[in-house]
Amino acid sequence: MEKTGAQPLGDILKSFLAETGLGRELVSVDVCGAWRKTVGKRAADATSRMYFKDGVLYCTVSSSIIRNNLYFSLDGIKAEINASLGNNTVRKIVLK
């Protein structure tokens, strides 16, 4: 980062996160946390692996019954996650 005079702290942090690539990791953590809050404890416990890449949230759900129930609610889940994040970060959710 190059010194350019007085800047708001928020701008400096955004610049730092963009330069280091940490911003993407923080978004991934936020999305995964929002998934757990949105789907509830039982579905979150059945989610064994989860990662977020290029606007797509990939979730491995160990229970076929829970996976099937989630599948029919994906549009609502996606909308609720995006609403809790305050933007349209999640474009798609893939259940495995």
Residue 50 lies in a domain: yes
3-state secondary structure 23-39: HHHHHHHHHHHHHHHHH
pLDDT score, position 17: 60
Domain limits at 58? 23-95
pLDDT score, position 6: 80
Residue 32 lies in a domain: yes
Residue 82 has pLDDT above 90, yes or no: yes
What's 62's domain CATH number?
Answer: 3.30.300
Residue 34 lies in a domain: yes
Residue 41 lies in a domain: yes
Task: State the pTM of this model.
Answer: 0.76
Total of domains in the chain: 1
Residue 10 lies in a domain: no
